[in-house]
Each structure stands twice: as structure tokens, then as C-alpha cells.
Chains A and B, each alone.
Chain A
Amino acid sequence: MLDLYGRGWQMLEGGLVTVQLCLTVLPFMIVIGLLGASAKLSRYRTLRVIGESYTVLIRGIPELLVILLIYFGGTIAVQSLAEAISGEETRVDIPAFWSGVAALALVQGAFASEVFRAAMQSIPIGQIEAATACGMTPMQIFMRIKLPQLWRFALPGLNNLFQVLIKDTALISVVGVEEIMRKAAIGAGTEKAPFTFYLVAMLIFLSFTTVSLLVFNYLEKRAARGVARA
């Protein structure tokens, strides 16, 4: 019972894949989020429209649909692109792992852009004016003034997003990536013990979300250490 019919290690392997998925998506999510937030606050109308419609589109479509679209549609797109370049019939397979990463980065990036937009807007305008008066370039202002504070303002939102991300990686099992849910499904099928396997899977997920919560709470406390509190 405790070693799960000898499949305990496989569940842990699945857990490792889930961690890999989360940590691979995280940087993409942050970069897409920062780009999206900058686009939304841009002074150019075109960029603002692009940024806003990206969020509007992603917010209204289920994650599962995005994952399926990128997995099935992405293969066809890349394949026809490869055929157009090489001029002959080629067979391309996008690994399910990377199509899953792309889908989740796209979805979470949209939500992250909202978090970063709000964080950028909570930076006092006086600081930006002071930096401009000191002769900093926009890039310097971003690196020296905005980014260090952005981190603190965005952390609670990112905490939430990372929780959602951990739970959303379970959806990638639908396209066959062998993370926790997929391993549990395999175990449940072969050993005819679905309740046990899914229970273990849920416990692993619960421990992941708990750890992420604790880490983010620590980071939030750390990020606020230089700030006077009422």
C-alpha cells in the first residue's frame, strides 16, 4: 500500500516533471507579463490595443482549449512552415512538454501582465520625475527605479499566479506529458486502484501548493523589509 504497488517512484518522477514544468514556465510568464504590461502602458496606441486584446482573448478562453489548440494546431503550423522552407514533405513533432509550456506561458503571461501593470502604476510618479531630472535614460529608470519596486508590489499577485500555475500543469496530462496526473492515471489503470493513486496525486499537489505559499510569504516579508509600516 505504502509503496503504491511498486509505483511510488514513478509518482515522484511525475512530481519532478511537474516541478520542471512550473520552473520552465515561470521565466517565460514573467517576461511575457512585463512585455504585456509595458505594452498596455505604452504611449503608442497600437501597442496598447495589442496588449489589451491579448488579455481580453486569453481571459475568456479555457486553459484546456489553449493547450489543445497549441498541441494539435502547433504541430500543423510548424510542419507546414518546415515544408514551405524545405520544399518537400517533412514530418515534425513538437514535444508535448514544450507545447504545454508554450500554452501555459501564454495563459499565465496574460494574467501576469495585469499584475505587473497594477504594480507599475503603484510606483509614485514623483520618483520617475526625479530620475528623469537626474538625467537617467528610460532603460536606466526601468532597471534602477521601477524593477526593484515592481518586485515588491507584484509579489502578492505573483504568489496567486504561481498557485494557479502549479494547478494548471495538471491539465498538460491531457496531451500526454507524464507529470503527476498522467502517472496517477497510468497507475490507476494498470493496478485497478484509481482512488489510491489519485489520492496520492492530490496529496503531492497539495504539498507543492503549500510549499509555494510558504516560500512566497517569506519573499513578501523579505521584500517589505525596508518599508515603514503603519
Chain B
Amino acid sequence: MFEDFIYVLGKYDTWLWRGFLLTIELLVISVTLGTLLAIPLAVARVSKKVWIQALPFAFIYVFRGTPLIGQLFMMYYGVGQLIANIDGIQDHWTWTYLRDPYWYCLLTFVLNTAAYVAEIMRGGIQNVPNGELEAARACGMSPWITYRRIIFPRMWQMIWPAYTNDVIFTLKATSLASTVTMMELTGAARKIVARTALPYEAFISAGVIYLIIVYSLTFGFKGIERYLRRSEQRNEPKTGRAKAATSA
């Protein structure tokens, strides 16, 4: 049994390594762009004007209410086909990019992440205590400055655990790229299975790599959470050891 593991890991280590890199690449770009896109969506979503609220509401509703694999197929096969049907597009210089599944995957993951993150951001923004907003207004802050100095820092504090979960969700979502022929971690494992007919060895190896990524992410994000909540820690009663250290 273990010989097979060593065989798979020894022979196909480059596939798994490249798969790992592609998974990380997809994750980092999707989360970064998705989060940037989520901010305006969430701000528009909490607007009191219905016509501003309606569009982000519909966007979030559709992307959260349908399976990601469907969104991906819709983009890659559906929109891809519509683009391919445009006259002369296949001779155009952009065609190399327009037929590459990589861009369709990224676009789908970015939009999907944006919808999920915008929804948790909405919760965060709406839970900022009203007194703080009133205080900001009393200090003469404009809405923009209130957002920058009061609402966003408070929001990040509150949503960070949910945001961490969402990043992990996006990591797991990148495995779907394998269904449109991308060779990320799951894609690499599937190819190894096709080549060697050793499903346990290949899939479990990939699974262990996913676990390592997930728990390193969790660990790193916990650290950032402590940083975000540093103002709260200051008010907490210090432990005996910390007190001893300060008095010494």
C-alpha cells in the first residue's frame, strides 16, 4: 500500500507541485479581486435607495443561489460559444486568451467570491453600532470619511471569522477548475488516476495538500484577527504574567 504512495509521489511530484502552484494562484487572484469587487457591492447593497440596492441584491442572490459548477459551465461553454460565434474572432489576436479556460475560471471565481463576501460585508456594515455613526456625524465626518475611519475598520473586525471561512470556501471551489481541463491540484490528481489507476493514492495525496493549505490559511488568518482586534485586547484585564512583565 505504501509502495504505491511512494510510487505516485515520486513519479508524479512535478504534476502535484504545478497543481499546487496553480491552485494557490487561482485562490490569491480570486480572493483579492473578489474582495475588491465586494466592497462597492456591499456599500450599494446597504443603500436606502431601492434602485441602488436592487442590482447588487440580484447579483448576490443569483450567484449565491446557483451552483458554482453551473456558473463555470455557463461562462466557459455558454459565453465561450457566444464569443466563438462572433465573425472573424478566431483570427483576432485576442482569440488565444478568449479560448483559454484559465480566464473563464478566474472570472467565475472572482464574481462568485465577490457575491459571497459582499453578503457577509453587508452583515458587518449593518451591525456597526448606531451610536458610533452618530458620533462620527457629530464630529462632522463626511459619509466617505465615516466609511474609511469608522465603518470599514469595524466591519473587518466583525466579519473576519466569516471571511476566513469564505477564503477556505474559495480554495475548495478552485477544485472545480479541473472540470474545464485545468490542471490544478484536483486536475493533477485526476490525471494521475487516469494514468495509474491508483485513486486512493492520488486523491489522498491531493487531499493532504489541501488540508495543509487550509490549516496554514486558518493559522495565518487567526494572526490577522488578533491584529484587527488589538484595540479590544488593550482594555482586557492583563494576565498575571503580563502584569509581572510590565511592572518589572
Contact = CB atoms under 8 A, between A and B. Distances in A.
B74 A210 contact: no
B119 to A, nearest CB: 12
Contact of A63 (B62, B172, B179, B203): B172
A109 B201 CA distance: 24
A66 B99 CA distance: 29
Q: Please classify how large the interface on chain A is, using the bins under 10, 10 to 19, 20 to 34, 35 or more.
A: 35 or more
B199 interface: yes
A60 interface: yes
Contacts of B79: 195
Given A59-B214, A202-B74, A64 B65 contact: no
Interface in B35-90: 62, 64-71, 73-74, 77-82
A63 B68 CA distance: 12
B30 interface: no
Contacts of A202: 62, 66, 70-71, 74
B210 to A, nearest CB: 5
Interface stretch (B10-18, B122-130, B186-194): B186-194
Given A59-B168, A195-B81, A206-B62, A64 B70 contact: no
Given A65-B210, A206-B62, A171 B78 contact: no
Interface in B180-202: 186, 189-190, 193, 199-200
Given A72-B193, A76-B199, A61 B69 contact: no
A131 to B, nearest CB: 34
A98 interface: no
Contact of B66 (A167, A169, A192, A195): A167
A100 B85 CA distance: 36
Interface string A147-176: 000000000000000010011111101100
A181 B203 CA distance: 24
B65 A209 contact: yes
B175 interface: yes
Given A68-B190, A68-B203, A194-B81, A170 B65 contact: no
Given A65-B207, A195-B79, A170 B214 contact: no
Contacts of A194: 73-74, 77-78, 80-81
A72 B199 contact: yes
A201 B179 CA distance: 17
A207 B77 CA distance: 22
A185 interface: yes
B199 A73 contact: yes
Given A69-B203, A202-B71, A64 B186 contact: yes
Interface string A187-199: 0100010110011
Contact of B67 (A60, A168, A199): A168
Interface in A13-71: 57, 59-65, 68-69
A65 B23 CA distance: 14
B178 to A, nearest CB: 7
A125 B31 CA distance: 42
A60 B210 contact: yes
Contacts of A181: 67, 69-70, 73
A142 interface: no
A55 to B, nearest CB: 12
A184 to B, nearest CB: 8
A206 B66 contact: yes
Interface string B81-125: 110000000000000000000000000000000000000000000
B217 to A, nearest CB: 9
Contact of A173 (B69, B74, B210): B69
Given A59-B168, A61-B210, A69 B200 contact: yes
A62 B210 contact: yes
B66 A61 contact: no
Contacts of A198: 70, 73-74, 77-78
Interface of A: 57, 59-65, 68-69, 72-73, 76, 163, 166-171, 173-174, 181, 184-185, 188, 192, 194-195, 198-199, 201-202, 205-206, 209-210
8 contacts: A60-B207, A60-B210, A62-B175, A166-B67, A168-B67, A170-B69, A198-B78, A205-B67
Given A61-B172, A72-B203, A173-B69, 15 more contacts: A57-B211, A59-B168, A64-B179, A64-B186, A68-B203, A163-B64, A168-B67, A174-B69, A181-B73, A188-B73, A188-B77, A194-B78, A198-B74, A202-B71, A210-B65
